[in-house]
């Protein structure tokens, strides 16, 4: 399913994910154009998070996980065996539902990630750290306490620090797995503003249960569902068009709030 007239930066083709004998996702296909945000919505258990995990090979860390199909990032199949997975995860950042800063200082949360990916020059390390904190709106809030524990930040600040940690690695794609669901409304609005500011610079694939959020932020939307015990993509398209007139009747009912 083509999400835009622009060439896709991220193309998911016939992607299936199984855990042992249990199918989590079957035959999913989506295209996300460079600089656009696609929101993936649907009820719990329909394979949304498994889709994200497959894109940056987090499924490799799950015993018994099997992935088939193709995931192309700028026409390179990241599921191919010869791919450098560490390099892939530098290019495909991920932010999770729960803020998960390292139990380190605010600065070390970013510097540690950069050093793990081969950055050694002190000037570059600190320049990229400041740039990432500026991009997430955190710099002015934390510049005087960079060596304080990151776990002392508020929940919303911790989540923005996780964004900064990903952005410091200069990714091409950002995967967002319900990034606002654990936050209060004020922090959620701040993170939404951050996500909106990243459009145009990064290709974004975001899982959310918040349909209003998907309508506000997404350029395109995909609706996932469970059929025959396995997750699948029911429909996808431009956000405005899909909310008004999805091709799949079940997808339309879900977007209208008629199905939980």
On whether residue 3 sits in a domain, the answer given is no
Residue 27: pLDDT band (50, 70, 90) is very high
Count of domains observed in the chain: 1
Mean pLDDT of 21-36: 96
On whether residue 117 sits in a domain, the answer given is no
pLDDT digits (tens, 9 = 90+) for 159-187: 999 999 999 999 999 999 999 999 999 99
Predicted local confidence at residue 202, as pLDDT: 96
pLDDT digits (tens, 9 = 90+) for 97-150: 999 999 999 999 999 999 988 889 999 999 999 999 999 999 999 999 999 999
On whether residue 118 sits in a domain, the answer given is no
Residue 3: pLDDT band (50, 70, 90) is very low
Predicted local confidence at residue 81, as pLDDT: 80
**Measured between alpha carbons, how far apart are the two ends of the chain, in Å?**
25
Instruction: Quote the domain boundaries for residue 81.
Output: 8-101+174-255
DSSP structure string for 194-257: HHHHHBTTBEEEEE-S-HHHHHHH-SEEEEEEEETTEEEEEEEEEHHHHHHH-SSHHHHHHHTT
On whether residue 167 sits in a domain, the answer given is no
- CATH code: domain of residue 234: 3.40.50.300
On whether residue 113 sits in a domain, the answer given is no
On whether residue 179 sits in a domain, the answer given is yes
On whether residue 247 sits in a domain, the answer given is yes
Residue 258: pLDDT band (50, 70, 90) is confident
On whether residue 144 sits in a domain, the answer given is no
């Amino acid at each position: 399913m083509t999400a835009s007239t622009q060439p896709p930066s991220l193309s998911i083709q016939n992607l299936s994910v199984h855990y042992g004998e249990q199918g989590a996702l079957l035959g999913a296909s989506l295209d996300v154009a460079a600089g656009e945000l696609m929101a993936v919505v649907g009820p719990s258990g329909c394979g949304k998070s498994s889709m994200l995990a497959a894109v940056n090979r987090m499924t490799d860390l799950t015993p018994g996980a099997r992935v088939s199909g193709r995931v192309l990032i700028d026409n390179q199949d990241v599921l191919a065996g010869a791919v450098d997975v560490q390099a892939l995860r530098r290019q495909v950042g991920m932010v999770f539902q729960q803020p998960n800063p390292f139990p380190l200082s605010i600065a070390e949360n970013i510097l540690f990630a950069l050093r793990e990916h081969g950055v050694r020059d002190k000037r570059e390390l600190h320049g990229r750290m400041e740039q990432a904190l500026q991009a997430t709106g955190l710099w002015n809030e934390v510049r005087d306490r960079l060596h304080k524990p990151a776990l002392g930040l508020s929940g919303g600040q911790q989540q923005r620090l996780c964004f900064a940690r990903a952005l410091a690695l200069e990714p091409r794609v950002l995967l967002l797995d319900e990034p606002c669901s654990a936050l209060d409304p004020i922090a959620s609005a701040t993170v939404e503003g951050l996500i909106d500011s990243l459009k145009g610079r990064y290709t974004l694939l975001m899982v959310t249960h918040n349909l209003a959020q998907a309508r506000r932020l997404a350029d395109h939307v995909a609706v996932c569902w469970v059929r025959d015990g396995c997750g699948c993509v029911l429909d996808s398209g431009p956000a405005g068009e899909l909310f008004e007139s999805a091709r799949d009747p079940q997808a339309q009912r879900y977007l209208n709030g008629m199905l939980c």
